[in-house]
């Protein structure tokens, strides 16, 4: 079924994809706000607010929020990214209105109780410590901070010990008032639901939300090449080797997706085959691309021994150079495109994936993007285009390397 879109008079957008052959529904309440929208003194406040909205409203305690979803066999969660925040749940289709009531109540009626805030700041501080104790996770944050040093995209979503410790109830209320405005909000629902019923329920619960958000435009981040080796008493070297990527609006977006697929996305990729399968230098090695509104980042990651780290770094460089010098065979290009198309199509058999794709397409393009359109853009990628992009972004002087390991 096509996605049905309805914009309420105050600017809240409602997206519904009715899928009659399933018995569930995935519901997401999205806000176009993230770490890029924080002032220099607000580092991590978006993420802390995400935590706090689970801690009780005027109508429900924290326990009741959880019980109303989980007590019906559903799941409830949330995530904060650099540009978006999402509160979502998956429930039986017959429980959709209850789930929607819980999500909207969390966003519009949260108490932000000072005692709960003090406890939750402690929870986030422990989350920060846990991340720093996990080098395989922490290296990614360090890498992006270094690659985009000084830019809003380089800020850690979780914030810092100092910033998180400083927040008071008024800070959270001020940020919510500034960012949780109607024209920033999308409610996306995929599953066995009726569109009219969802729109009526959202209108009743979010129809009074104020609009008029202010979202300053960002400059494109300038990549900061270099090398950052962090000494830590660990067994492995955990590394990120990366460079600039493309934004979600760039014409080369799908060329970048294919380039990622060729180099490191999946067990048949060049880096996995060379580093793990042929040489046995790492258990985990791969790559990923992060695309945002004003820029992107391409990263190769993995973990290896301190003695084999120089060889792994050399192999990554060799694979970059080989692609730039020798090109991309048509049979390899076809294999990667087929894999990407199949992965995307299979993912959309899940209602949660459909819900997320709907919302992200609305934020980025302002419309539903049919699967066929995306598959056609992947299919249109050429070997020449992939190699040209590689030659522009994978030059040695553009690379940033971040590693945490038992360095002397």
- Please list the active-site residues: 50
Q: Are 128 and 158 in contact (CB under 8 A)?
A: yes
Structure token pair of residue 368: 């539903």
| 3-state secondary structure (DSSP) of residue 401 | strand
Residue among 231, 296, 226 at smallest CA distance from 260: 296
Q: Are 268 and 216 in contact (CB under 8 A)?
A: no
Please name the residue ranges forming H helices in 23-112. 45-52, 62-70, 96-109
| Angstrom distance (rounded) from CA 156 to CA 152 | 9
What's the order of all strands across the beta sheet hosting 285-291?
A: 226-231, 400-405, 237-244, 296-304, 285-291
Q: Are 50 and 164 in contact (CB under 8 A)?
A: no
Q: Which residues contact 223 (CB under 8 A, 6 or more apart)?
A: 147, 148, 243, 244, 297, 398, 400
| Angstrom distance (rounded) from CA 83 to CA 406 | 34
Alpha-carbon distances, residue 407 vs 68, 187, 311 (angstroms): 50, 48, 15
Residue with tokens 């806000």: 31
Q: Cα-flanking dihedrals φ and ψ of residue 55, to 5°?
A: -100, 15
DSSP for 154-190 reads GS-TT--HHHHHH--HHHHHHHHHHH--GGGEEEEEE
| Angstrom distance (rounded) from CA 11 to CA 213 | 10
| Angstrom distance (rounded) from CA 64 to CA 306 | 49
């Amino acid at each position: 079924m096509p996605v049905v879109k309805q914009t309420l008079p105050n600017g809240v957008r409602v997206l519904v994809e009715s899928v009659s052959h399933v018995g569930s529904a995935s519901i997401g309440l999205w806000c176009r706000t993230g770490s890029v929208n924080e002032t220099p003194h607000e580092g991590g406040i978006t993420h802390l607010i995400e935590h706090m909205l689970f801690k009780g409203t005027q109508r429900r305690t924290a326990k009741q929020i959880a019980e109303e979803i989980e007590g019906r066999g559903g799941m409830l969660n949330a995530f904060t990214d650099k540009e978006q925040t999402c509160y979502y749940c998956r429930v039986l289709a017959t429980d959709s209105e209850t789930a929607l009531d819980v999500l909207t109540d969390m966003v519009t009626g949260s108490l932000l109780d000072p005692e709960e805030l003090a406890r939750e700041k402690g929870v986030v501080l422990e989350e920060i410590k846990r991340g720093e104790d996990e080098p395989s996770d922490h290296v990614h944050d360090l890498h992006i901070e270094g690659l985009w040093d000084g830019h809003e995209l380089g800020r850690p979503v979780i914030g810092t010990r100092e910033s998180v410790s400083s927040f008071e109830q008024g800070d959270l209320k001020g940020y919510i008032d500034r960012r949780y405005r109607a024209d920033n909000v999308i409610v996306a629902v995929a599953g066995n639901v009726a569109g009219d019923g969802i729109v009526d329920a959202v209108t009743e619960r979010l129809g009074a939300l104020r609009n008029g958000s202010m979202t300053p435009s960002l400059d494109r981040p300038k990549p900061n090449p270099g090398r950052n080796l962090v000494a830590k008493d660990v067994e492995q070297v955990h590394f990120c080797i990366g460079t600039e990527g493309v934004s979600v609006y760039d014409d080369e977006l799908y060329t970048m997706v294919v380039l990622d697929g060729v180099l490191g996305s999946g067990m048949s990729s060049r880096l996995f085959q060379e580093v793990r399968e042929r040489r046995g230098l790492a258990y985990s090695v791969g790559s990923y691309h992060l695309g945002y509104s004003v820029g992107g980042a391409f990263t190769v990651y993995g973990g290896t021994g301190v003695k084999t780290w120089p060889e792994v770094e050399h192999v990554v460089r060799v694979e970059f150079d080989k692609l730039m010098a020798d090109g991309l065979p048509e049979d390899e290009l076809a294999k990667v495109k087929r894999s990407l198309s199949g992965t995307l199509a299979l993912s959309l058999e899940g209602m949660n994936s459909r819900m997320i794709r709907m919302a992200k397409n609305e934020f980025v393009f302002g419309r539903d993007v049919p699967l066929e359109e995306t598959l056609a853009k992947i299919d249109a990628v050429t070997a020449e285009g992939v190699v040209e992009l590689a030659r522009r972004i994978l030059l040695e002087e553009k690379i940033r390397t971040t590693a945490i390991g038992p360095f002397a």
